[in-house]
Chain A
Amino acid sequence: MTMARRSPVNEAGVRQWLLTETPASPRQAQLGRFYASWLEFRGNPTAMIGLGIIAVLLLTALFAPLLATHSPTAQVLVDRLQPPSAEHWLGTDELGRDIYSRIVHGSRITLYIIGIVAVIVGPVGLAVGTIAGYMGGWVDKVLMRITDIFLAFPRLILALAFVAALGPGIENAVIAIAITVWPPYARMARAETLTIRQADYIAAVRIQGASSARIVGRHVVPMCMSSLIVRLTLDMAGIILTAAGLGFLGLGAQPPLPEWGAMISSGRQYLLEQWWVATMPGLAIFTVSLGFNLLGDGLRDVLDPRRGGA
C-alpha cells in the first residue's frame, strides 16, 4: 500500500480528506472510516470517561517511577500502618510501605497481566475459530466440541485448579486465566468466518490459487479483528477481577510485588482499625475495570451498529 497523496496541511483539509465520499486509496478509506468511528465515539460521554481512565492507567504504568513518591518495596517499620497524610497520601501498610506508591507500581502488574492474557487469547481464539469455520467438516466438529467443553466450565474454579497444579505466581495465574478465557473468542471467530467464507472476494482469492492457510491468515482473520477487540476490551474488566481474585487468595503475584489483589488480602487483618490498607487498592481495581467496561460499551456501540443506540 502506498500513500497516494500527501495529507493537506491545514486542519479543515485533513477533515475533508478523511471524510470524503470518494477516497483515492485504500489507506484513505481506512483512515476515513476510522475517523468517522472516532467522531461517533467522541460523542459518547461515558465511553470517553472510560478512555480517559485507561489513558491514565497507561500513563501511570509508563511513568510509575516518576509518579511514585516512595519506593514500592522499601520497608520503614517505624512508619507502619500510618493513616493517609501529606507524607503518605494513602497511608502506609503493615510493613511501612507507601500505599500510593505501591498502587502506582501495581498498575504495571495489572497491565502486564491483561496484556499477556490478550496476547495469548486473541491468537488462540482466532486460530481455533477461523480454522474451524473455514475448514468445516470434522475439523469444525472436533474443535467446536473442545471449545464447548471449555465453555461449560466454571472459570474461576478452573483457574484455581490450574494455579494449584502449576504453583502460585503471576505467570501461572496469567496462563490459568488465558486457558479459561479463550473459548468465547473461538466461537465468535467461527461465526464470523462462516459468513465471510461465502463472500465473493474469498471465492476470487481462491480462484487466484491462494492456499487455505493464506486465505484464512490474510483474508479471514483481518475481518474478525474488530469484534475481537471489542470483546477483549469488555473482557478486560473480568480478567482484572479474576487476576485480583487470584492475588487475593494468595495464588497470583507473590509478595513483595505490589499486586492490587494481594495488597487487599494483606490489609484484610487490619481492616477494622486501619481501613485504608485494604480499601485503597480495591478502589484502583474498581476504577480500572469500570474504565474498561465503559470503554468496551462505547466501542461496541460504534463498531457493532446492530447493538448500538441502547
Chain B
Amino acid sequence: MPFKPFLLFAGTLFLTFLGLVFVTFMIGRVVPIDPVLAAVGDRAPADVYEQTRIEMGLHLPLWQQFFIYVRDVLSGDFGKSVLTAQPVLVDILRVFPATLELATVAVLIGLVVGIPSGVVAAVYHGRWPDHLVRFFGLVGYSMPVFWLGLLGLLLFYAKLDWVPGPGRLDIFYEDLVPAVTGVILIDAALAGDWEVWGNALSHLILPASILGYYSLAYISRMTRSLMLEQLSQEYVTTARAKGLSETRVIWVHALGNTAVPLITVVALSYATLLEGSVLTETVFAWPGLGLYITNSLLNADMNAVLGGTIVVGVVFIGLNLLSDVLYRTLDPRART
C-alpha cells in the first residue's frame, strides 16, 4: 500500500477506535452504579471513600479521566471484574476462543451452503429453485436466533436425541485435553484425543448450524445478486459460444469473478456472527464472550461489560476495515 492511503487508513482506524472508547467511557460515566461504592462497600467511612475516589482518579476533570482511560485500554487494562475478581482481559482471553470456534464453524457452514445455493438461485433466476432459496433466506432474516436455538434444542436434543445438550463438552470429557489454544477442536486434535474431539463436535454442530443459517441467508443473497450481474455480462456469452460446458461457464468463469466482492461479504458476515453469538451462546450455555458479557450485565459488572464491548468492537472494526483493504488489494479496478 502506498504511504498516503496507508496514513489515511491508519487515521480512520484510530479515530474509529477512539470513538468506540469514547462511547464506552461515556457509558461508564452515566451508569447509576457508583464505582467507588462498588469497590469499598457502602459501610466505608467518608475518609476512606474520599481516598479511594482519589486513588481511582475520579476527582480529576473528565477529559483527564478520558485520557487515562484511553491509556489503560491501549495497554490492555480494562480493570477488574467484580464477578470473577480477575482482570477483565484475562477473563476475555479465556472465553474468546469459545466464541471464535462457534463463529468460525458457523461461517464455514454459511460458505459451504450459501455460495452454491446463491449460484443455483441465480442460474434458475425466477424459477422455483430461485424462489426456494429466496424464501429460505427470508425466513432466516425474520427468525429470532434465540427462538430458533430453543426450537433446535427441543427437536434435536429433547425429542430426537441426535445431539447432546447445552455446553461445549459432556461433563466427563471436561479438562481431559490441555488447553493450548482454547479452541477445543484444535486442542483435542493436537492431543490426539479423538473421543473428546467427537464430543466437542457433537456439541458444536447445533449452535453452529443455527448461527450459520444467518450467515447462509446473507451469503446466498449476496452470491445470487453478484452472480446475476456476472451472468448478464458479454464474456459469459463468449465463453458459451466458444463451446465451454455450462458447468464450467457458471462455476469457474462467472463464480470466479464474484470472488473478490464475496470475500468482503464473508468478512462482514463473520463480524456480525461474532456479535450474533451473544444470544446463541445464552441459549446453548456456550461459555464464550457473549455469555460472559450478558452474565456480567445481569450482575452489574460494568468493567467486564465495557471491556467485552471494546473487544467485540475492535474485532468488528478490524474485520470491516480488513474487508475494505482486501477488496482494494484484490480488485485492480478499485486501486487508484
SS of B interface (majority): helix
Q: Which of A70-78, A120-128, A209-217, A245-253 contacts B (4 or more CB under 8 A)?
A: A245-253
Interface bits B275-300 vs A (CB < 8 Å: 1, else 0): 11011001100000000011001101
In the complex with contacts A164-B27, A310-B225, A293-B141 CB distance below 8 A: yes
The answer to whether the Cβ of B75 comes within 8 Å of any Cβ in the partner chain is no
A275 located at the interface, meaning its Cβ lies under 8 Å from any Cβ of chain B in the complex? yes
Contacts of B58 in A (CB 8 A): none
**B144 surroundings in chain A (CB, below 8 A):** 241, 244-245, 248, 261, 264, 282, 285-286, 289
Q: Which residues of B contact A275 (CB under 8 A)?
A: 154
Task: Give chain A's interface residue range (CB within 8 Å of chain B).
Answer: 35 or more
Q: Which B residue's beta carbon lies closest to that of A145?
A: B15
Q: Does B218 contact A (CB under 8 A)?
A: no
Contacts of A290 in B (CB 8 A): 138-139, 142
A161 on the B face (CB < 8 A): yes
Selected contact of B297 from candidates A164, A278, A294, CB within 8 Å: A164
User: Contact between B297 and A152 (Cβ–Cβ < 8 Å)?
Assistant: no
Confirm or deny: B199 has a beta carbon within 8 angstroms of a beta carbon on chain A: no
A104 on the B face (CB < 8 A): no
Q: In the complex, A309→B297 CA distance in Å?
A: 45
Are A294 and B282 in contact (CB-based, < 8 A)?
no
Q: Is the interface of A mostly helix, strand, loop or mixed?
A: helix
Q: Which of B141, B151, B316 makes the CB contact (< 8 A) with A282?
A: B151
Is B32 on the interface with A (CB-CB < 8 A)? Answer: yes
Which A134-158 residues have C-beta < 8 A from chain B? Answer: 145-146, 148-150, 152-158
CB B156 to nearest CB in A, in angstroms, measures: 12
Q: Which residues on A sit within 8 Å (CB–CB) of B305?
A: 160-161, 164
Residue of B nearest to A234 (CB): B141
Q: Contacting A286 at CB < 8 Å: which of B12, B143, B271?
A: B143
What chain B residues lie within 8 Å of A44 (beta carbons)?
none
Q: Which residues from chain B contact A285 at a C-beta distance below 8 Å?
A: 144, 147
What is the minimal beta-carbon distance from A246 to any residue of chain B, in angstroms? 10
**B158 within 8 Å of A by Cβ?**
yes
CA distance A154 to B16 in the complex (A): 12
Q: B313 touching A153 by the CB < 8 A rule?
A: yes
> Digit string of B98-142 for contact with A (CB within 8 Å is 1, else 0)?
000000000000000000000000000000000000000011011
**Does A219 lie at the interface of the complex (its beta carbon under 8 Å from any beta carbon of B)?**
no
The interface stretch among B18-26, B181-189, B205-213, B254-262 is B18-26
Provide the bound-state CA to CA distance between A289 and B300, in Å. 31
Q: Mark A265-287, 1 if CB is under 8 A from B, else 0.
A: 00010011001001100100110
With A152-B320, A248-B146, A249-B282 known as contacts, the answer to whether A158 contacts B309 (CB < 8 A) is: yes
A160 to B316, CA, bound (A): 16
**CB–CB A293/B19 < 8 A:** no
Check A162 for interface membership: any CB of B closer than 8 A.
yes
Contact A248 B297 (CB under 8 A): no
Q: Would you list the 4 A-B pairs with minimal beta carbon distance, nearest first?
A: A282-B147, A149-B19, A290-B142, A154-B275
Known pairs A153-B23, A157-B275, A164-B297; list 10 more (Cβ under 8 Å). A152-B316, A153-B313, A160-B297, A165-B28, A165-B30, A249-B279, A264-B144, A268-B150, A282-B147, A290-B142
* A-B pairs with beta carbons under 8 Å apart, 23 shown: A152-B316, A154-B272, A154-B312, A157-B275, A158-B313, A160-B294, A164-B31, A241-B142, A245-B144, A245-B145, A245-B146, A245-B279, A250-B298, A271-B150, A271-B153, A271-B154, A279-B150, A282-B151, A286-B142, A286-B147, A289-B144, A293-B142, A310-B228
